[in-house]
Structure 1
Amino acid sequence: MSVRTVVTGLGVAAPNGLGLDEYWRNTLAGRSAIGQVTRFDASSYPSRLAGEIRGFEAADHLPSRLLPQTDRMTRIALVSADWALADAEVNPADLPDYAAGVITASHSGGFEFGQHELQALWSKGGQYVSAYQSFAWFYAVNSGQISIRNGLRGPSSVVVSDQAGGLDAVAQARRQVRKGTSLVVSGAVDASICSWGWVAQQAGGRLTTRHDAEGAYVPFDAEASGHVPGEGGALLVVEDAEHARHRGAPRIYGEIAGHAATMDPRPGSDRPSGLRRAVELALEDADAEPGEIDVVFADAAAVPELDRVEAQALADVFGPRGVPVTAPKTMTGRLYSGAAPLDLAAALLALRDGVVPPTVASRPADDYALDLVTGAPRPAPLRTALVLARGQGGFNSALVVRAATR
């Protein structure tokens, strides 16, 4: 019998809620956190909106020695990991050596830290560049810092596949649990709302240039013109179900039942996107039929051609308007590698509470043939959810999660 991999802890830091309860309460209430950028002066840029986390003071949560050596991204990740472990009632000191690891995803690394050090280099000289620049910018820094802080010396790594990376990291955690690791802290947090990060994101060509916060990020809408970026994400405690039972875990949010990742063909090819294939393979991995999926948490690119591909893949697998679809990231912006783990956390809470959170602002175009949940939460008996994520460059990831069973 294969090892069941379950989620026993959630740590959430999102623009519309710091901590699990605040995030979920605001998400169900449809409270958007998208607004004008305040972390730097974005007035000269074509895109000026973001989902920023307000009120996060790292010094309130972390020892002072960590602050000079960490980017904002890593500080949020460290606190999210603390919250996830506390939610799972896991004391890392009680775990055997090498029994637990850390597998996260990253989209851009510590951009803001790197920007400050480059500014110091060119304006003052190399002697003013922090020695911590050697790792604070790096894609793997969140995995490393979480591991060091908590003494988690088991299998650890980082996945870099843009927005798809958050699901790919959780899938890698599942593989390690199946190989014998008792517990893995997994997921992702990204934060690159700084002028250097903004230029890089702007160059990707997928940011909306609308300045109306309420109507800027509208996936599957006829007026879709690109996404609004954001910061934050979620970290999860992914655990062997038998280990969770043996230690008396206070709750099991759900089971990671299936996953698949595919790549799109090269641009200009006449071959179709690999998204549908990712969905089909994830269902196969979960031993699930399309009719068993009760809700889909969409990637929701808000780029018309990408929205069309996603809507068509869902119609092909589930039938036109065949399954409720939601995109709560319309309240936070796309958090890059942090977006899909946050969607996964929302999916687990939706299964727990029997409610589909809404997509705000969007008015779904008829030709997409989607049953998009808008306006208000939709109560429904939910047992199984599908979470989708796509990264720039052709990455596709699909993950199936089932409701908790003991």
Structure 2
Amino acid sequence: MTATAVVTGLGVAAPNGLGIEDYWRATLDGESGIRRITRFDPAGYPCRFAGEITGFDPAAHIPGRLMPQTDHMTRLALAATGWALGDAGADPAAMDEFGMSVVTANAYGGFEFGHRELEKLWSRGGKHVSAYQSFAWFYAVNTGQISIRHGMRGPSGVLVSEQAGGLDATGQARRHIRKGMPLVVTGGVDGALSPWGWVAYLSGGQLSSGDDPARAYLPFDTAAAGWVPGEGGAILIVEEAAAARARGAAQVYGEVAGYSSGIDPAPDTGRPPALPRVIRQALDDAGLRAADIGVVFADAVGLPALDRAEAEAITEVFGAGAVPVTAPKTMVGRLASGGSALDIATACLALRDQVIPPTVHVTDPAGPAADLDLVRAARQAPLDSALVLARGTGGFTSALVVRRAA
């Protein structure tokens, strides 16, 4: 019999809330964390808004010895992991160290840490560069630091597929559960809000340059003109259902019931995008029909062509207006690998409370998006299953189904 992977704990670090309850309250109230960047002066750049986390004191959450060797996003990941373990009621010290794995996703690594060390290299010389630069910048650093801090020595890894990464890491976590691992820490926390990271964002030519934070990121809207970056994400505790029951898990948010991933074909091939196929495969993997899905958490890029393709894919699989669609990331921006992990956490909370969070700021759905039942105010609804979609730069395409706990 195939083991069942369930989510028992959540830790959220988002631009509109730290911790699941603050984040969830802000999200249901439509409170946006997108604002003018304060981490550095953005005046000289064409894009000046981001989903920036404020009010986070890392010293209150991680040991002082880790401060010199960690980037801002790793500190957020460590804090979110502590919150998730606490939410799950799981004490790693009381568990088998080889019975716990860590699989996270990351797209940028420790960009801010690397920026500081490069400044030292250029201005003061190599002797002033921190030895911690050797790993603090690396994509796998969150996995490494989490596993070391909590003594988790089971098979671990990192997924690098940009916005799709949070789904891919959770899919990999389910594989570990099915192979006999009792507990896996998964999800993603990401961010690169430094001048060096900002130049990298700008090089893609896809960022919004709007002057109003409430109109800068408008997926599916006739005024859509790019996306807004953000930082943060979510860490999830995924356990084998029987093991979670045996240790007396505090709660079960839901089951990781279905997952699929694919790659979009090159633009000049004339082949269709991967998203409709990936959605159907995730539904098949979960043993569900389209009609069983209560809400779709959209990828919602904010670029007209990609928004159109996503709206067409959802309508192709579900029918016009047949399923509620939401994009709460309009309140936080696109968080790279942290974005889809945060969407999974949000889906779990939606299933828990039987409410669909809103897509804010969108007022005039464009083209095929007009055929979507786009949820623009929090909506009570009977929810048994949620579908989360994500597409990353380079064609990464993933879908994941979360089913409500019985």
Give TM class, smaller chain.
over 0.9
Instruction: Give the Cα–Cα distance (whole angstroms) in 1 for the partners of residues 249 and 260 of structure 2.
Output: 28
Q: Map 1:71-110; keep pairs closer than 5 Å.
A: 71-110=71-110
How many residues are treated as equivalent by the alignment?
404
TM value normalised by structure 1: 0.99
**How much does 1:220 deviate?**
0.2
- Provide, for residues 67-113 of structure 1, a one-character-per-residue CA deviation record: whole Å limited to 9, x for no partner: 00000010000000000001001110111131001000001100000
| SS of 2:98 mapped into structure 1 | coil
Equivalent residue, structure 2, for 1:358? 358
Query: Does structure 1 conserve the Cα–Cα contact (< 8 Å) formed by 2:308 and 2:367?
Result: no
- Provide, for residues 6-50 of structure 1, a one-character-per-residue CA deviation record: whole Å limited to 9, x for no partner: 000000000000000000000000000111011011111111000
Instruction: Give the Cα–Cα distance (whole angstroms) in 1 for the partners of residues 156 and 367 of structure 2.
Output: 45
Q: Map 1:1-400; keep pairs closer than 5 Å.
A: 1-363=1-363, 364-365=365-366, 367-368=368-369, 369-374=371-376, 376-400=377-401
- Provide, for residues 260-306 of structure 1, a one-character-per-residue CA deviation record: whole Å limited to 9, x for no partner: 00100012221111011110100010011000001000000000000
**How much does 1:367 deviate?**
3.5
Instruction: Give the Cα–Cα distance (whole angstroms) in 2 for the partners of residues 208 and 271 of structure 1.
Output: 29
Instruction: Give the Cα–Cα distance (whole angstroms) in 2 for the partners of residues 327 and 166 of structure 1.
Output: 16
Answer with 226-235 or 362-371: which moved more: 362-371
Residue 61 of structure 2 aligns to which amino acid in structure 1? Answer: H
**How much does 1:366 deviate?**
5.1
Query: Does structure 1 conserve the Cα–Cα contact (< 8 Å) formed by 2:259 and 2:398?
Result: yes
| SS of 1:346 mapped into structure 2 | helix
Query: Does structure 1 conserve the Cα–Cα contact (< 8 Å) formed by 2:253 and 2:349?
Result: yes
Query: Does structure 1 conserve the Cα–Cα contact (< 8 Å) formed by 2:311 and 2:368?
Result: no
Residue 320 of structure 1 aligns to which amino acid in structure 2? Answer: A
Instruction: Give the Cα–Cα distance (whole angstroms) in 2 for the partners of residues 195 and 250 of structure 1.
Output: 42
Instruction: Give the Cα–Cα distance (whole angstroms) in 2 for the partners of residues 398 and 303 of structure 1.
Output: 20
Residue 339 of structure 1 aligns to which amino acid in structure 2? Answer: G
Answer with 358-367 or 217-226: which moved more: 358-367
| SS of 2:283 mapped into structure 1 | helix
Instruction: Give the Cα–Cα distance (whole angstroms) in 1 for the partners of residues 47 and 337 of structure 2.
Output: 20
| SS of 1:402 mapped into structure 2 | strand
- Provide, for residues 216-250 of structure 1, a one-character-per-residue CA deviation record: whole Å limited to 9, x for no partner: 10100000001111000000000000000111101
**How much does 1:3 deviate?**
0.6
| SS of 1:98 mapped into structure 2 | helix
Where do 5+ consecutive residues of structure 1 fail to align?
none
Instruction: Give the Cα–Cα distance (whole angstroms) in 1 for the partners of residues 155 and 282 of structure 2.
Output: 24
Give the 3 Å change call, closer, same or farther, for CA 22–332 of structure 1 in structure 2. same
| SS of 1:59 mapped into structure 2 | helix
Answer with 205-214 or 298-307: which moved more: 205-214
Counterpart check, 1:401 vs 2:402: yes
Residue 240 of structure 1 aligns to which amino acid in structure 2? Answer: E
Query: Does structure 1 conserve the Cα–Cα contact (< 8 Å) formed by 2:300 and 2:307?
Result: yes
Instruction: Give the Cα–Cα distance (whole angstroms) in 2 for the partners of residues 292 and 139 of structure 1.
Output: 36
Instruction: Give the Cα–Cα distance (whole angstroms) in 2 for the partners of residues 7 and 228 of structure 1.
Output: 29
Residue 372 of structure 1 aligns to which amino acid in structure 2? Answer: L
Instruction: Give the Cα–Cα distance (whole angstroms) in 1 for the partners of residues 380 and 207 of structure 2.
Output: 32
**How much does 1:211 deviate?**
1.8
| SS of 2:184 mapped into structure 1 | strand
Which aligned runs of 4 or more in structure 1 are off by greater than 6 angstroms?
none
Residue 372 of structure 2 aligns to which amino acid in structure 1? Answer: L
Instruction: Give the Cα–Cα distance (whole angstroms) in 2 for the partners of residues 269 and 392 of structure 1.
Output: 18
Answer with 230-239 or 262-271: which moved more: 262-271
| SS of 1:387 mapped into structure 2 | strand
Aligned CA RMSD, in angstroms, stands at 0.7
| SS of 1:393 mapped into structure 2 | coil
Instruction: Give the Cα–Cα distance (whole angstroms) in 1 for the partners of residues 25 and 152 of structure 2.
Output: 31
Residue 301 of structure 1 aligns to which amino acid in structure 2? Answer: V
**How much does 1:63 deviate?**
1.1
TM value normalised by structure 2: 0.99
Query: Does structure 1 conserve the Cα–Cα contact (< 8 Å) formed by 2:101 and 2:152?
Result: yes
- Provide, for residues 310-338 of structure 1, a one-character-per-residue CA deviation record: whole Å limited to 9, x for no partner: 00000000001110000000000111100
Residue 222 of structure 1 aligns to which amino acid in structure 2? Answer: T
| SS of 1:208 mapped into structure 2 | coil
